[in-house]
Amino acid sequence: MTALQPVRGTRDLLPEDSWKHNHIVAAGRKLAANYGYGEIATPIFEQTEVFARTLGDASDIVTKEMYTFTDKGGDSITLRPEGTAAVARAFISGKLNDQLPLKFFYHGPMFRYERPQKGRLRQFHQIGVELFGVADPAADVEVIALGAQILDRLGVLGWSKLELNTLGDAESREAYRTALVAYFEQHRDRLSEDSRGRLHRNPLRILDSKDEGDRVIVADAPRFAEYLTPKAADFFGKVKEGLSDLGIAYHLNERLVRGLDYYCHSAFEFTTDRLGAQSAVLAGGRYDGLIQQMSGPPTPGVGWAAGIERLAMLAENFPPMPRPIAFIPMGEPAERKLRRVAFELRAAGIPIDMGYSGNLKRRLNRANRAHARLAVIVGDDELAAAQATVRDMDSGEQQTVPLAELAGHLAG
């Protein structure tokens, strides 16, 4: 019989992986709280319309990557492929518009049917932030600054660069879209099949095509900066100024786009060359039209998301996992004695790993595998002498401690 395996594109988080995962979440949560962001948790599945309406019926995520099923009640349900739409839905359904501005931090699993590769899974995890209700460019600067500080706290910022672009306002975007369609129509026969499909539906997405032939054509495409309204240019100028004031370096990337119409103004990504083809570490932008498109009140928004698995591959500032004390009782009387001591120490916050079976050598090997810092050995001889043998697992040195003083000795 074939051994059961995890579903392709998924992975188990074993204790060391979970330790790193939780550290990343905790770092994000703490720094987000310093900026006034409260934590929100949404269900991992939503009505399919939440994502189909926001991501676009023709987007790759909707057409190729979503995990969608019909539940027993006949409703179309989708495992969330991203967090922003779910948080926006919570804002609308919770009727929170009278509490603006609102700042949210979230984390959790996302699901996309993609080709698994380094840094890309079908079940992956993200941290993210959303800021609703602030139309000022200062909000864009704030969320980017928060992202930079989280990356810095994790030791990732030094391996990343911030790429920045503007998508302008609606007027700028419409003028640019018209210019792009006219340009790409001249080269239609040379475009890839995907880009021909996007030509009238979503021409901005052609700008970030990975097809080499497309890239040659894109190189001479019109530049967005030429179509910015004065108001949009001023907005972008204030974002750049704000980042410079904070000492956050950025690189302008005119090909960094977001294809959906509710995106506007700032688009940004922290990227790295240490993850192969998956260069984005943290990415976001402004989406002033999103909540209105979801039938909510007109509400400006800006935010970002970062992949926890990718951060875990890059991060360097992980604290060491806590090292337990291994209790090794040899015989039932010793086990009963140590069980009470372990109970007290665990309640005091000291991790205790209790060895229940095997000879002394096997239990010491287990203590080594658990990276125990101390081993407490109690057998019949120790019980008769009312003492325990305490071994330092790093140096091998041993000392005897009276059983009556053991809890206090280890707690100290």
Comparing 18-27, 46-55, 376-385, which segment has the lowest mean pLDDT?
46-55
Tokens of 152: 């810095």
Provide CATH 3.40.50.800 ranges for the chain.
325-411
User: Could you give the 3-state DSSP secondary structure of residue 273?
Assistant: coil
Q: Is the pLDDT of residue 14 over 50?
A: yes
Give CA–CA dist 177/181, Å, rounded: 6
Contact indicator for 281, 80 with CB cutoff of 8 Å = no
Contact indicator for 393, 331 with CB cutoff of 8 Å = no
CATH T-level topology, domain 15-169+229-314: BirA Bifunctional Protein; domain 2 (3.30.930)
Q: 131 Cβ partners below 8 Å, 6+ apart?
A: 37, 101, 102, 103, 104, 139, 142, 143, 301, 302, 303
Mean pLDDT calculated for residue range 378-393 = 93
Strands 352-354 and 102-111: what pairing? unpaired
Confidence of residue 210 (pLDDT cuts 50, 70, 90): confident
pLDDT tens digit sequence for 301-342: 999 999 999 999 999 889 999 999 999 999 999 999 999 999
Query: 355 or 240: which carries more pLDDT confidence?
Result: 240
pLDDT, averaged across the chain: 91
pLDDT tens digit sequence for 214-262: 889 888 889 888 999 999 999 999 999 999 999 999 999 988 888 677 8
- Burial letters for 344-379: b for 16+ Cβ neighbours within 10 Å, e otherwise? ebeeeeebbbbbeeeeeeebbebbeebebebbbbbb
Q: Look-up: residue for tokens 């932008």? A: 285
Contact indicator for 39, 106 with CB cutoff of 8 Å = yes
Q: What is the pLDDT of residue 59?
A: 55
Q: In terms of DSSP H, where are the helices of 219-287? A: 230-245
Q: Which of 246, 13, 252 is nearest to 125 (CA)?
A: 13
Tell me how far CA of residue 196 lies from CA of 116, 140, 257, 412, in angstroms: 26, 33, 17, 70
325-411 placed in CATH 3.90.79.10: no
Q: What is the pLDDT of residue 114?
A: 81
Q: What is the pLDDT of residue 372?
A: 95
Q: What is the pLDDT of residue 282?
A: 97
Contact indicator for 48, 77 with CB cutoff of 8 Å = yes
Q: What is the pLDDT of residue 60?
A: 58
Backbone angles phi, psi at 336, to 5 degrees: -65, -40
Confidence of residue 61 (pLDDT cuts 50, 70, 90): low
Confidence of residue 278 (pLDDT cuts 50, 70, 90): low
Q: Which of 168-177, 203-212, 298-307 has the highest mean pLDDT?
A: 298-307
Residue type, 337: K
Provide CATH 3.30.930.10 ranges for the chain.
15-169+229-314
Q: What is the pLDDT of residue 58?
A: 46
Rg of the chain over all Cα atoms, to the nearest angstrom: 28
pTM: 0.89
